[in-house]
Chain A
Amino acid sequence: METVLEDHRDIPASANEPVLVYFSSVSGNTHKFVDKLDAESIRLPLRTGEDTILMDRPFVLCIPTYGRPRSGGAVPPQVMKFLREPKNRALMLGVIGAGNTNFGELFCIAADKIAAKCEVPVLYKFELMGTSDDVARVNEGLKAFWTQNFQLSK
């Protein structure tokens, strides 16, 4: 785990509770998953035209993979807009991906792409709205991850 966190991250020593920033389309699968977690959560705007969110605390990003093969991206445009803010990227600790294994090698590819681009770990992948096991594992994992993070950043 130690190798994961880089010193360049701008992490305040406050805020000990896990925070999730997430995107969910009108079908709401990711929203339903995040809603079941014991973590504060902030939903990114549905429309690309709306102003994005500026974070002032460390967070984990939770996103589905978009499916518009001809118009390019697996990463939802609303998520790209959010990540174009340098401060948001600096505060991002990791990514959780939502998807469906039916998409084969594209399963949760948006999470993989963001992780590679922003040099953060993919923490977890789940399908559709997640099972109760997924919820339990992510709850436990986020708590431990947060604790470890702040100890290490001190």
Chain B
Amino acid sequence: MMSEKVELVHNVEAINWNRIPDEKDLEVWDRLTGNFWLPEKVPLSNDVQSWATLSDEEKQLTMRVFTGLTLLDTIQGTVGAVALLPDALTPHEEAVYTNIAFMESVHAKSYSSIFSTLCSTKEIDEVFRWSRENEFLQKKANIIMDYYQGDDSLKKKVASTLLESFLFYSGFYLPMYWSSHAKLTNTADLIRLIIRDEAVHGYYIGYKYQRGLETETEERRQELKDYTFELLFELYENEVAYTHSLYDGVGLSEDVKKFLHYNANKALMNLGYEAMFPSSVTDVSPAILSALSPNADENHDFFSGSGSSYVIGKAVNTEDEDWDF
């Protein structure tokens, strides 16, 4: 896919995990390895009956969405995270990128596990052909691939963070939607594992971007900020078109777009910028939010009075904490 080879590290030194210049590297390494999972651990076959209750159109939509996600994970696993390696400042940062790259390959493979559990070989071949021919999906891939081939280390981190924290979400919406309707719940469990991983990836790459900015001139910082917003707009426009092409048939496009706005804000925050979309266009339906996080309900706003049902000391397991008082 790439015309030029990615240049890897110039010289190699033995990695010493007992002397770590940036403690965030170890923290994120621990988090990523602690989160490690494989699709074989998720009982996807329990979704076979549920899959049978979907209409043909819903099945096709679901397969298309997952193929789109497969493409993004493939890019990130084989090009995106790898392209960050030459710019790493320490061997520990390199180690984290190799972990990210590997997990993206696990993600890409896990969609194939879903397909092989739920669909026929013919259907699978058809949907992969669709992914090669869909103009919006191909455009999305091409925009990101172009940016990864540039030689600006900070711009690559921007593109990578936008992929991790924004581009996946037109796809992630659907399994959350099915889950909120008690459908494909095991598949949704697997997707939640991917969503959790992408949050750490976006956080870490965005953090490294912000560290990189610290040594740049004011002029260069402004250039990078402008660049970030331009790239986001370019991707956003394409995401909106992609969303309509997928979801218009089932009438979900408007809510998916809210989910896009909500996640675009989070992608910007991962890069250290203020959220851009106002709350009037980020109010994703509560069912989707609670499929994402059962902990993100109304009760968390004690101030507004809407949390009047709040009970102090509601069941939270504190056993695993080191509380010696």
Q: Which residues does A use to contact B, with CB under 8 Å?
A: 3-4, 25-29, 32, 67-75, 77, 80, 83-84, 86, 89, 94, 97, 100-109, 112-113, 115-117, 119-125, 127-129, 131-133, 137-138, 140-142, 144-145
The residues of B that contact A80 with a CB separation of less than 8 Å are 321-323
Are B279 and A105 in contact (CB-based, < 8 A)? Answer: no
Contact between B279 and A131, CB atoms less than 8 A apart: yes
A84 to B269: give the CA distance in the assembly, Å. 32
Contact B312 A125 (CB under 8 A): no
Stretch at the interface among B30-38, B54-62, B84-92, B127-135: B30-38
Contact with B310, one of A113, A121, A127 (Cβ below 8 angstroms): A121
Contact between A73 and B295, CB atoms less than 8 A apart: no
- Taking A103-B196, A104-B196 as contacts, is the C-beta distance between A71 and B292 under 8 angstroms? no
User: Can you pick out 19 interface pairs between chain A and chain B where the beta carbons lie within 8 Å of each other?
Assistant: A25-B24, A28-B210, A67-B34, A69-B30, A69-B31, A70-B34, A72-B320, A72-B321, A74-B321, A77-B322, A102-B196, A113-B316, A113-B317, A121-B312, A122-B300, A124-B301, A133-B279, A141-B301, A141-B302
Q: Quick one: closest A residue to B277, CB to CB?
A: A131
**Known A72-B321, A102-B195, A105-B294; contact A131-B300, beta-carbon cutoff 8 A:** no
Q: Is the CB of A104 within 8 A of B321?
A: no
Measured between beta carbons, the chain A residues less than 8 angstroms from B296 are 101, 107, 125
Distance in angstroms from A62 CB to nearest chain B CB is: 13
- Interchain CA distance A124-B199 in the complex, whole Å: 21
Find out whether the CB atom of B293 lies under 8 angstroms from the CB atom of A104: yes
Query: Which 4 A-B pairs have CB atoms at the shortest separation, nearest pair first?
Result: A141-B303, A69-B34, A102-B199, A125-B300
Given contacts A104-B196, A104-B292, 15 further A-B contacts (CB under 8 A): A27-B207, A67-B30, A71-B30, A101-B292, A103-B199, A106-B295, A113-B318, A116-B314, A122-B310, A124-B303, A125-B295, A125-B300, A133-B279, A141-B303, A141-B304
Q: Mark B195-206, 1 if CB is under 8 A from A, else 0.
A: 110111001000
Smallest distance from the beta carbon of B194 to chain A beta carbons, Å? 10
Number of interface residues of B (CB under 8 A): 52
Indicate if B23 sits at the interface (CB-CB under 8 A).
Answer: yes
CB interface residues, B 273-323, toward A, < 8 Å: 274-275, 278-279, 289, 292-296, 300-304, 310, 312-318, 320-323
Expressed in whole angstroms, the minimum distance between the Cβ of B259 and any Cβ of chain A is: 11
Residues of B within 8 A of A138 (CB): 303
B302 and A119 contacting across the interface, CB-CB below 8 Å: no
What number of residue pairs across chains A and B have CB atoms under 8 A from each other? Answer: 151
A100 touches which of B266, B289, B321 (Cβ 8 Å) = B266
| B residues 11-39 touching A (CB-CB < 8 Å) | 22-24, 27, 30-31, 33-35
Please tell me if the beta carbons of B301 and A127 are within 8 angstroms of each other in the complex: no
Find out whether the CB atom of B289 lies under 8 angstroms from the CB atom of A101: yes
Chain A residues closer than 8 Å to B292, beta-carbon distance: 101-102, 104
A17 to B270, alpha carbons, bound, how many Å?
31
Closest to B35 in A: A69
> Which of B269, B294, B323 contacts A104, CB < 8 Å?
B294
| Also in contact, A105 and B310, with CB within 8 A (given A67-B31, A80-B321, A137-B303) | no
Cα A131 to Cα B272 with chains together (Å): 12
Contacts of B294 in A (CB 8 A): 104-105
Cβ of B186 within 8 Å of any chain A Cβ, yes or no, is no
Contact B318 A117, beta carbon cutoff 8 Å = yes
Once A27-B207, A123-B303, A144-B303 are accepted as A-B contacts, the answer to whether A109 and B295 lie under 8 Å apart by CB is yes
Known: A104-B293, A115-B312. A67 touches B27 (CB 8 A): yes
Q: Distance (Å) between the CB of A94 and the closest chain B CB?
A: 7
Given A26-B23, A70-B34, A71-B30, A124-B195 contact (CB < 8 Å):
no
Q: Are A112 and B316 in contact (CB under 8 A)?
A: yes
Residues of A within 8 A of B27 (CB): 25, 67-68
